[in-house]
Each structure stands twice: as C-alpha cells, then as structure tokens.
Amino acid sequence: MRLLELTAAYDKVGVLYPFLFAVYVDDLIVELRQSGLGLYIGSTFTRALLYADDIALLACSCLGLQKLINVCMAFGLQWDIRFNPVKSQIACFSS
C-alpha cells in the first residue's frame, strides 16, 4: 500500500515538474536579462533558450558567452544548483 502511495505522489509531481522548474529558474532568467548580453535573432533580442531543464546561452562574442556562463555559475552557487559539465557544450564562431 505504501509503495502505491509514493508512486501516486511521484506521478503528481512529475506532471508539475516543468512548471516547478520554470518557477525555480525564473530568477536566473531575470539575472541573464539584467546582464544586457545576448544577440539578435531577426528582430528579437535573446540571451538564452530554455526547454525543460536544458539551457542554451547565446551571445555575439566568446567573451559575452563567458559572461553569461559566469552569471549561471554565480546563480548555481547561490541556489546550490550544479550544472553538469559532462552534458555541457560550447561553440564559438568568428570570422
């Protein structure tokens, strides 16, 4: 009976997970926005794309990208969030 109760509770949280994660990282989005860094995609200025628990940081220079990473790292230290370096990738392009 106890296992069934735990499974039912997990299923309910599982449905709420995307919403709870969005609430959790909302302050990170605010901090990224306040950095003033990012780039234009068409006429839209952006600095990060988020989907589920994935974050893609976007900047028009390698230095700008590093500054966005620094914002994320400071946020992670403040809220005890660990970004997985094994799952992280960086791409910088220049002409």
pLDDT band at 12 (very low <50, low <70, confident <90, very high): low
Whether 18 is covered by a domain: the verdict is yes
pLDDT at 52: 74
Whether 70 is covered by a domain: the verdict is yes
The domain of 20 spans 2-87
Whether 62 is covered by a domain: the verdict is yes
pLDDT at 24: 77
Whether 95 is covered by a domain: the verdict is no
Per DSSP, the three-state class of 57 is: strand
Whether 92 is covered by a domain: the verdict is no
The total domain count for the chain is: 1
- pLDDT tens-digit profile of 15-69? 777 777 778 789 999 999 999 999 999 999 999 998 877 899 999 999 999 999 9
pLDDT at 95: 66
pTM of the complete model: 0.76
Do residues 35 and 60 lie in contact, with contact meaning Cβ atoms separated by under 8 Å?
Answer: no
Token pair 């309910």: residue: 12
Whether 23 is covered by a domain: the verdict is yes
Whether 41 is covered by a domain: the verdict is yes
